[in-house]
Structure 1
Amino acid sequence: MRTALTDVVGCRHPIVQTGMGYVAGARLAAATSRAGGLGVIAAATMPVDQMTAAIRAVKERTDAPFGVNIRSDADDAAERVEVMIREGVRVASFALAPRRDLISRLRDAGVVTIPSVGARRHAEKVAAWGVDAVIVQGGEGGGHTGAIPTTLLLPQVVDTVDIPVVAAGGFFDGRGLVAALAYGAAGIAMGTRFLLTSDSPVPDEVKKVYLGTADTLVTTRVDGVPHRVLRTPFVESLERSRLRLLRAVLNAARFRRLSGMSWAGMLREGRRMRHGRDLGWAQVLQAANTPMLLKAAMVDGRADLGVLASGQVVGVIDDLPTCAELIDRIMAEATAVLNGLTRLRTAPAPSPTRVIPPGGR
């Protein structure tokens, strides 16, 4: 299936695997790109040397295009951009807001830039900067999300910008891909659906938690901004806790011990995440150690002590296919749906019913 997305990126199918911290490493990104989609390394939670190693690992496993997702507000963002350019990464995406100077540097080097947005005005802004495409995530999506549903946000953006638009939030099958194309999108991006594959590195016991629930909520108690996660006892305790500063300090201390980060470094990270937001110091500390909450679940397998980001589609997912099986299935479903719509369009009109008046022939 050829779309504006496949043309600009070079992948075979208009399906993007989103960058998910501690989930989308070399293994998942390579499996996705090898299967014809666009795999994305979530490098925002990796040190630079680990990001470099992940890029090289994907290149060893496939010659298909792939992307890297970074945080533009990181102290070493410029260094990460240079690594991506040097290593020949095809696509750059961004966790949270991008930066115009980074977009310009990447584009000048021939790297395709695809930021994510949750509002029409944000799409207009980055389109004016000269990005190659944009991912539009509606409120159904997991992780940081807005309040506007995909079905309303997507057509707004498609009608506003003249670059390829990728739809995210609520997609998991071929019907969704066709629906996105009908709205004018050039493809779909999925996070939760790729998290729940056999190629995902998430521990099996955590995947079972995902498969066993359909309940998510949007909370600001993780890092101060809306974050869609699974409703777990741990998240509910965050929601109702009145000792938020104490809990944040304890979590921050645990993260500092494991990460080796200094208290000063953690506070700098928290202030950076606090910039432009109305956050108290409890949220600043919580924001600074959010990676620890993600790592606890996604790496250590402690769903009882961590945060499980999830889109609402978790309630309709019940299997763990490989990335290749998933993408092949989505494309087969999409083809079947498109063929069915074509038959509706070309089917002969039914003959009109002849009405015989009383006493007539």
Structure 2
Amino acid sequence: MKTEITELLGIEYPVIQGGMAWVAECHLAAAVSNAGGLGLIAAAAAPAEWVREQIRKTRELTDKPFGVNIMLMSPEADEVAKVIVEEGVKVVTTGAGNPEKYMAAWKETGVKVIPVIASVALARRMERCGADAVVAEGTEAGGHIGEITTMALVPQVVDAVKIPVIAAGGIADGRGMAAAFMLGAKGIQMGTVFAASKESVIHENYKNSILKAKDIDSRVTGRSTGHPIRVLRNDMVRKYLELEQNGADFEEMEKLTLGSLRRAVQEGDAKNGSLMAGQIAGLVKEERSCSDIITDTVKKAEQLMGVSVNE
């Protein structure tokens, strides 16, 4: 399956793994890359040296292309941006900010830069500052989200920019991939389905929460603070939404969620941890290998479209 994205990134299939904080580390990134997609290491707010270590470990596990996702609002962002150059990483996806100040250094060393965007205006701005492609992520996605649905966002971004568009949010199988291509995307990004994969290092309690989720089990917290996050409902989410409804101050809500993603991923706290997952979680019913996920997704998409993408 060849598209502008496979050509740009040197990968077999136009499938990118989401840069999920605490979830997307060397083992998952390598498994996705070995399966023909593009695996990502999520830098999140981690120290730059941890990111360097993860890059080197990933290289021990795969000789295929992989990348790093940088959360630009992280206090470590400047140092991580330098590590990207020093370690010769060839693909970077960015979120929560504008990567413009890093563009010159990245471009000089041949880094492909793919910002995650949630609006047409931001997509256009990223194209102007030199982005090689954009990930148009709809509100169906897990974690930090915008407000526009994937179905509405992707075609508008496709019409607005000349660089390739990767669709994300609410995609977990070949049906979603085929729909994304019909909307004009040249690739897809998936997160939730990879979080529940066999190679994912998240705690079994977190993984089982995804596998058992129903279509109505996700909630959005943080709208009142301007930082909406989609998670699976649990005790913490119910408490948080009550605080929001009652007009609690930011500090009180922040105290409730501090360290909650780590508690979910590492400690398996499914009641008071942050179980970030997309609305598509209800479609993810079994733990599969990254290879099976990608192969099945691509095969089904090609069947639905009645033709290979490169034809």
> Contact 1:221 / 1:239 at 8 angstroms: preserved in 2?
no
Find the counterpart in structure 2 of residue 25 from structure 1: 25
Q: What is the CA-CA distance between 1:79 and the residue it aligns to?
A: 2.0
Structure 2 residue 203 is the aligned partner of structure 1 residue 236: no
Q: What is the CA-CA distance between 1:77 and the residue it aligns to?
A: 2.1
Structure 1: distance between partners of 2:21 and 2:72: 15
Over the aligned positions, Cα root-mean-square deviation in angstroms equals: 2.0
Letter in 2 for 1:84: I
Structure 2 unaligned runs (5+)?
none
Q: What is the CA-CA distance between 1:73 and the residue it aligns to?
A: 3.0
Structure 1 unaligned runs (5+)?
246-279, 343-361
Q: What is the CA-CA distance between 1:45 and the residue it aligns to?
A: 3.4
Find the counterpart in structure 1 of residue 3 from structure 2: 3
Q: What is the CA-CA distance between 1:286 and the residue it aligns to?
A: 4.6
Find the counterpart in structure 1 of residue 220 from structure 2: 218
Q: What is the CA-CA distance between 1:341 and the residue it aligns to?
A: 10
> Contact 2:45 / 2:74 at 8 angstroms: preserved in 1?
no
Letter in 2 for 1:60: E
Letter in 2 for 1:213: A
Match of 1:52, SS? helix
Q: 1:320 to 1:50 in 2, by over 3 A?
A: same
Letter in 1 for 2:117: V
Match of 1:69, SS? strand
Find the counterpart in structure 1 of residue 284 from structure 2: 317
- Cα deviation 1:64-106 (Å, max 9, x = unaligned): 1111011223333222112111211111112312231112321
> Contact 1:135 / 1:168 at 8 angstroms: preserved in 2?
yes
Q: 1:12 to 1:218 in 2, by over 3 A?
A: same
Q: What is the CA-CA distance between 1:282 and the residue it aligns to?
A: 3.9
- Cα deviation 1:124-169 (Å, max 9, x = unaligned): 1111101000000011111111121111110000000000100001
Structure 2 residue 262 is the aligned partner of structure 1 residue 295: yes
> Contact 2:22 / 2:262 at 8 angstroms: preserved in 1?
yes
How many correspondences in the alignment?
305
Letter in 2 for 1:139: T
Q: What is the CA-CA distance between 1:223 and the residue it aligns to?
A: 6.6
Find the counterpart in structure 2 of residue 308 from structure 1: 275
State the identity as a percent. 37
Structure 2: distance between partners of 1:286 and 1:105: 37
Letter in 2 for 1:231: R
- Tell me the TM-score normalised to structure 2 length: 0.93
Q: 1:221 to 1:123 in 2, by over 3 A?
A: closer
Find the counterpart in structure 1 of residue 168 from structure 2: 168
> Contact 2:154 / 2:183 at 8 angstroms: preserved in 1?
yes
Letter in 1 for 2:115: P
Q: 1:317 to 1:74 in 2, by over 3 A?
A: closer
Structure of higher CA gyration radius = 1
Q: What is the CA-CA distance between 1:340 and the residue it aligns to?
A: 7.2
- Tell me the TM-score normalised to structure 1 length: 0.80
